[in-house]
Amino acid sequence: MKNISFNFGEDLVPFYIGTNCLAQLATIIKQFKFDQLFIGFDDHSKFYHGARFLNILDQNSIPYSTCVIPPGENNKTLENLDYILCTFIQKGCTRQSIIIPFGGGIVGNIFGLAAGLLYRGIRLIHFPTTFLAVHDSVTSQKQAINYLSYKNTVGLFHLPTAVIHDTSVLTTLDEKNIKSGLGELVKNAILFGDEFYDVLINQLNCHKDLKFSSAAFEELVISGINAKNRLLKHDAREKNTGIVFEYGHTIGHAIELSCPHNSLSHGEAVAIGMLAASCVANKMGIMSDEDRAKHDQLIEKIHPRLPILDKDIFLAVWNRVLHDNKRGYVPTEKGIICMILAKRIGELHQPNLYYLEAVPEEIVAQAIRYVLGKTSSGLQHNTPYQVVLGDAGVRGCDRLSL
């Protein structure tokens, strides 16, 4: 097992990672003094790996209580937060207790928020179980729930005491969640190049079917953490330089929100957004044909594809791009959309402090059309979307908390 500590500014957070190392993780947990652990699951993380984890705690005579929420973005709610707080308080949670969210980004966010609120903040040790959460959401102090149909509106910053992870839990993820984690890793490889590119391209060449072993996951996760660490060291709350992690998001996020609920993962949407960004950069003379080919070849290795749609989503995507939340960072004129663009792998285009280039709307529209065509899986007729009440707003009005 390794400790790959990472920084939030001056704060160093230990990150214990290994393969089939649950027993060793229990020994690590014991070193933190506490009266009781409070473990948060969703139904899936509990079903796949909960028994194994709790057995190890039992074998080590570690006292714990649990709380399980249903899976899915629709459950990152005030009602579930209330349920978690009530459960933990009634089960004897004190200032000496530690909360361990054992799950994906949703479990991490809502139980992380509970840790930040209980007694004005108790210790939080993340145990991420998705590929996205393990290198993306846990390397953030942001804890939040969705509220009044807006995503991540109610929350706070809460520093984790540690992160613990056993990569064997990732082997039960489906392809959609693997691609979601990969999309963010591809973004890191493009932002930083160097060894981040080499590690990823090597693993993708060795695992063309995207079925990674626990050891391969470990190498990818460590690479992802090291990439984020480059910026978190100087921008602990992701307020300034953190904006570069928004590469691929302007169009990618708009596409994600315009697809039927839960049909396209966040990371895959970002991958499609990066194909659009390179199209824009190339049209504006910022990225050469050769550099674009190398950039796009990396992305293509994770096979980003739109779900089968029952209508053209261009207008829905376009309207969301027009309201992208990066507006306001730099003054813009009418007819201009701000985008983060790359020159080549390992080098972002930096026209200003915020890396935001003013792109004419016409070029953005062409890039959207291009990626929608390129990544299309086809149109399916006579299959109306199932609209889940109360959910459209969460997805439609997502605001990134930069």
Ligand X SMILES: NC(=O)c1ccc[n+]([C@@H]2O[C@H](COP(=O)([O-])OP(=O)(O)OC[C@H]3O[C@@H](n4cnc5c(N)ncnc54)[C@H](O)[C@@H]3O)[C@@H](O)[C@H]2O)c1
- Binding interface with ligand X (CB under 6 A): 42, 44-45, 48-49, 71, 73, 76, 103-107, 109, 129-130, 132-133, 136-137, 140, 142, 152, 169, 172-173, 177, 180
105 near 154, Cβ under 8 Å?
Answer: no
Burial class (CB in 10 A: 0-12, 13-18, 19+), 386: exposed
CA–CA separation, 347 vs 294, rounded Å?
13
Can you give the C-alpha Rg of the chain in angstroms? 21
Burial class (CB in 10 A: 0-12, 13-18, 19+), 381: exposed
Phi, psi of 146, deg, nearest 5: -85, 145
**Looking at beta carbons only, is 25 or 106 nearer to ligand X?**
106
**Looking at beta carbons only, is 140 or 282 nearer to ligand X?**
140
63 near 35, Cβ under 8 Å?
Answer: yes
**Looking at beta carbons only, is 165 or 292 nearer to ligand X?**
165
Amino acid occupying residue 169? V
**Looking at beta carbons only, is 104 or 318 nearer to ligand X?**
104
Of the residues 218, 246, 256, 357, only one is catalytic, namely 246
**Looking at beta carbons only, is 89 or 148 nearer to ligand X?**
148
The token duo for 328 is 């306001």
Task: Quote the least distance from Cβ 102 to ligand X, whole Å.
Answer: 9
**Looking at beta carbons only, is 136 or 256 nearer to ligand X?**
136
Of the residues 142, 233, 343, 374, only one is catalytic, namely 142
Task: Quote the least distance from Cβ 52 to ligand X, whole Å.
Answer: 11
State yes or no: is 30 an active-site residue: no
Dihedral of the CA atoms 296, 305, 74, 171 (nearest 10)?
A: -80
CA–CA separation, 265 vs 268, rounded Å?
5
Task: Quote the least distance from Cβ 219 to ligand X, whole Å.
Answer: 18
233 near 7, Cβ under 8 Å?
Answer: yes
Task: Quote the least distance from Cβ 112 to ligand X, whole Å.
Answer: 8
Tell how strand 162-166 and strand 150-157 pair up: unpaired
**Looking at beta carbons only, is 48 or 314 nearer to ligand X?**
48
346 near 354, Cβ under 8 Å?
Answer: no
State yes or no: is 239 an active-site residue: no
Task: Quote the least distance from Cβ 180 to ligand X, whole Å.
Answer: 5
H or E segment at 109? helix 105-117
16 near 3, Cβ under 8 Å?
Answer: yes
Q: Residues 59-84, buried b or exposed e (16+ Cβ, 10 A)? A: eeeeebebbbbebbbbbbbeebbebb
> Angle of helix 194-206 relative to helix 214-232, nearest 10 degrees?
160
Task: Quote the least distance from Cβ 181 to ligand X, whole Å.
Answer: 8
Task: Quote the least distance from Cβ 375 to ligand X, whole Å.
Answer: 20
Question: Would you give the end-to-end CA distance of the chain in angstroms?
Answer: 33
By beta carbon distance, the residue nearest ligand X is: 105
Give me the active site residues, please.
142, 246
